[in-house]
Structure 1
Amino acid sequence: MTRFFFFDVLRFATSVMVGTIVLSVGCNDVVVDDPAKAQFEAAFQGRCGRGSPCDQLCYELHDGMYECDCRMGFILQEDGYSCTELNSTASSFYSMNEVDGGNEEDVLYQKDAIFDVHLNENFTEDDERNLNNTLKSSEKIVSTSTTEIPSTERPCVLDCGPNGGCVISEESSEPVCLCPLGKGGERCEKDLEIRSPRFTGSSWLAFPALRGAYKHVQVNLELRPESYDGIFFLTGERDDMAGDFMALLLHQGFIEFRFDCGSGVGLVRSEETVLLNQWNHITLYRHRWDAWLQLNGGKHIQGRSKGLFSRITFREPLFIGGTGNTTGLSEKLPVSGGLKGCIRHLEVNDHLYKFALEPSGEASKGFGIEECTADRCSRVPCQHGGKCLTSETSAVCLCPLGFSGDLCEIRVDLEVPSFNGSSHLRYKGLGEEALTWLDLQVTLKPTAEDGLILYNGHRGNGIGDFMALYLRKGRVGFAYDLGTGVAEASSQHKINLGEWHEVRISRTGRLAILEVDNQIPIEVLSPGAFTQLSLPQNLYLGGVPNFNMVSPQIKTRSAFVGCVQKIEINGKPVSILAEALGGANVDNCPHPCIAKPCGEDGECVPEMDYFTCRCKPGYRDQLCSRGPPGFSGTDSYLHFNDPATLTTLVSDPLDINVRFKITGSDGLILWMDSGSGDFLSLGLERGALVLRYTVRAEEIVVVHNSSTVHDNLWHRIKAVRNGGSGLLVVDNGPGITHQFVDVPSQRATQEGLFIGGIPDENLSTGGRYKNGIKGCVADLVLNTNFRLKLVGHTAASRNVLECEL
């Protein structure tokens, strides 16, 4: 069998020729004058098994090749297959790694090694000149005694104490201190004990270079990332990444292991993305060319490096959480920044690292390290896939769409979404829909003066085209960038918090118009000559997962707080919840639609504080065609006296929302009696809408006579009893609170809720009403979420017909 010898030491060319070494291919011999000074790895053509010349161990390589190796305590001889006991071949060319239990390590892979080169008699002056040039080119000065803080474009003048440095924050663009390991605070004035480090993207830890790991490496770590990109494990041969290296990193949410044994980069990439803001377990195993990776107990993903070399030289420190003083990353790795997040467990080749500074720990250096507070989440067990987020003092659950509560334990059937400042909904981006023109309408009710309402961008890092709708100091703002500069429009006046508002954006080319309620429209023209808006990223409503994706031109850096009930894009209504691709921490806004007043086969369409019903497809001629109850005005009513209704009637305040159409200027619409002697009535008296109720032996009367409601058209009424104060609102108009106090008259008590009338109106109401209404009542909701079932009801009824719509 013809043997072909390929040596790892060829990576060092003639710069590592030890003794007299003559290499030849084919039938020529391999001559080694001083075999005790060299250890070779040879690759042979063929297979392991019978016929293999390996003295002890044999490894299958690739392309029909194999390699011999020796067990612990033995070294491979120059013939590439025989093994000799280490004690019998002791030489200064080898060293034992006492820390790793005596695994041999080639001095070629030791830092600052000095080689004694002997040349044979056939070595010419040209050979010597070439050797010297090769040696000079391979020399490297390694220094880890000093660390440079990243330079910034603007001056950074904070006094950060001894060994601290000042940097410009990527998030706030303000100067902050990057403190040495063991220090913290705004000026690095506090002592910190680091058990589980948190990295900010600019921070890192340095440990001594790996020993005994040039062939085999096994890594176990627990990682809690806060963003989808960053390097968190990096080491290698040179600080400019020109030689061997090994890196574990996050790229677009996937775990990637990249390594180079000297002849090409190998890549192993997880099939699943990491879980943001949750602890992830990562296991990595590398043996020579081959490596496998496992994320969160999932599938083992395998890969291998290129070429024939199988060893990795480790001279540089092991950098954790960032890149340290390493340069040249752009040519070897897809990301160059450090990790944003926490690491709480790091084990390499069965050695568990301690993150504190020497001597209490093992870290030789570190910058910008904080103590991770994420373990607070162990006391907050979020349910239904909720994610735990921590602040300096607490931990809260970020709930997926359809769940709410402190632990995401409450299932929510969403109708009108409410956002709490940590919420968002995600949709398909506008893309070409907004390329040249955009018509956007939004109906919202804010409860905070600042917050991002809508955002769509061109890139995930906030750079490039974007459009944003937001609140800033109570004013509505719209900003966009077509690629040549930002244009921004702001409403002339602040809007009232806790009230519904309508916002409309019209944009054609460079021109945009902002309209808010009845305020004067604001026009703005974008700078430059570009007229098209490119928005391939997702559209976000109510906030974003991370404000790093929002253009720095948007000064509002908080999420919207309040409710959104309507979005219309280019004339097409958006089903806010049905079309959402995802979201978090979205709850229900207090609204009558929560009570599902349109039944299972109808859709509740919000209209400010009220709603209309829309039948689902296929039901217009079936259940939805069954009209609401109709009343004749005399001895015609519905009577509810079930326990749930009675309990609701005694609540204070009591909010009543009713939709009706009637004829006739007089008639009783509602009568409520909880059985305690007090009552509440809503009716028409000489064409005026009147709310009456008793409180502590007094009768409160509120009269609304500025609207006509007995015109046989549908109207919606909101009536509120709040102690001694009453309120009437008709068709979303102004609220009427003018009232007077009357002396209650005698009446016959009948417990429960009557709709449309009451038996013997004159006697039952103490002469206040002579008859019920002639007309229909379609919807009745109490306290925003208690809906009376008027269609298919189980209440007692008399002379109730189907309403003619």
Structure 2
Amino acid sequence: MQEHRFSLTVFVFIAVINVVFGELQTAEKNLQFEAAFQGRCGIDSPCQQLCYELHDGMFECDCKVGFSLHEDGYTCTRNDSATDKIKEFEQDIGLTFVDSNDIDSEDSVRFVKISKPTSTTDKAHICSLQCGEGVCVFDNHGKSTCRCPFGKTGSDCQITNQIRYPRFNGLSWLAFPPLRGAYKHAQISLEFRPESWDGILFLAGERDDLVGDFMAILLHNGFLEFRFDCGSGIGVVKSDETVILNQWNTLSVYRHRWDAWIQLNRGKRIAGRSKGLFSRITFREPVFIGGPGNTSGLVERLPTDRGFVGCIRLLQTNDHRYDFGEAPAGDTISAKEIEECSTDKCTRSPCQHGGKCVTSNKTSLCLCPLGYTGDLCGTKLDLQVPAFNGSSYLRHPALGDTALSWLDLDITFKTQSPNGLILYEGYQKYGTADFISVYLINGYLEFAFDLGTGTAILRSPHIISLNEWHKVLISRTGRLATMFVDNQSHVQVLSPGAFTQLSLPLSMFIGGTPDFDEVSSNVKMRNSFRGCIQKIVVNDKPLRIVQGALSGANIGNCPHPCVAKPCGTEAQCIPVFDKYKCVCNKHCNSTDSSQVSFDGTSFVHYTNREIQKRITDGHLEIDLRFRTTALSGLILWTGRTDRSADYLALGLQDGRIEVAFDLGSGETVLKYNASGSSINDGRWHKIKFTRHERLSVIVIDNGTKMFTISNGKLNQLNTNTGLYFGGTEDVEKSTGKRYKKGFIGCVSDFVLNTDYQVKLSWSTNTKNVCIS
């Protein structure tokens, strides 16, 4: 009888599987149907449920979870009851059906045997703590401890730990059910408050070893990255600015098939694209937030395997906003080491490192001293580009009598508000007297000054745009002042009265002041600055904005590549708007010449007319000194924008110098193969290359001369790209894969045609170059 029952069960089991697979295949055909329409989404679109705009002036319709797109391309029909049938059957036979929401996958149905928890009675001794809803376990030292479930805390798991905004400690994570309805299109909104530069924020994929399809949002060296793989290659979209530590950051991610873009802190959108032909992503694994969960294989697929440190207060994918509470009321199905985020601890804990706790509008915050940030001023900052939050300021030594007759100011800034004090210095704390002030008011930039006989004001002709870098030049000689803002027309003013000198004995304040009552009443702005101040030059002398300050408060780091220290420990990162240059430390210095250091990705691009003339002349001499330990790398290159014929490349191959050039009659290569000519020994060497029409000569350190004569009759080098020094934007592409990277090492005494000393200050494009 039991055998007959078993046979009947198997027969029913197989029958249901056949029914289910048949219904799922029918659903699959419906789901895979796609249609695109010309136009844009809106009230006039035919889409019944969802509408997605494509990048080519088209849009397509889609359906919510539980519905399938009809063959007309715009209406939706409710899915069949295949899933309900499976659930009824699995309860009878003790099997669980697992459904993938990706209809591209061949392995769209699988059955998993339900198993009971294993017994732990084989322990040498029993963990005897009373842990309430938690579990008693042994730690690494064999000591009993309680592992509390999500939402409980304390030594015995008796304290309710309501999680509204989770905080992650680097080992924490939250797990949500697998993504549904996101196989082709996903819009993700995220608000997070990072406390470190690296960590996984979001991870969802097909397998727990990260092989196959996946989507990931992570921090790496302070930059935000969105990585996704549709099954045929990873696409990477990376922010061009760093996140802001210990402050709330916003992120928007958009992915449609192969294409994606991200937008960090409402900045500009950065776009990218995945590789290969596949455009859909299978999601079977849980969505992990704040860490990798049980996912392995991270090192092979992601640049970091660290967990996120900080808080998350918003996660939304497509039309679903996640509730961080425990299921079934919330969305969390599993968690590890989660605690509630609290950004207002000042009322319960004292500010650290001399910070001052202040209360305003029933909220409290710590005013942190210079070099510290965080809720309680507990995070030490290596300040690169100072950011001001509206309660910040920096105090600098007074200008004194250095600005008596003339004053030049060069300021680079980016503002988040149309109002705010950028710079102020006066003669006395109260009353009317000499002062200078630069501030924003109602979106306009103003420079106000008083020589003791009345205030004069310069105003920019146009409103200053928010969240963009601006450069202002102010010059005052006697009573006359002139101001240039970006490319706007200049303005000038003559101060009233007969006085012509300016005396400033008090401290200079940048970004704000601790007491606006001490600011002259003739300054119309009474709010502190909100934004970033990148550079201030006073009378041709760069001001060390952070390092030179006597004191300050609430100074953070502006989102900028310099924050991630791209120049390493051997050089100082100097911001240049959204880019930077590296200034060498002593290792590359010389007492008699200017030197530069390259890291293999850096270069200088010259378009100077005099340089171009010498490069393309019938006679060319290149003299320079260098040192390196690298085997290969491009030192110098010039060519044509259409990549036809004429070019000249000088570089290292296998530790030896070579020159390759083409005058239009074919390539000529001249290698320096003299005895002992391997020059990647870290010592200084001198190279001299001479080309006189078709004849070329090269010599290293006054050694043996090597020469060659190019083929053909052409003798002119006709290039139009200027001169690249140290590398190019794409070395492999520029050199036809002759070189894979730029030069690594130091160079000095770069001279063309014996009389022309090339200087870095003449370059039009500098990237990652270390200048001494």
Question: What TM-score, normalized to structure 2?
Answer: 0.36
**Structure whose alpha-carbon radius of gyration is higher:** 1
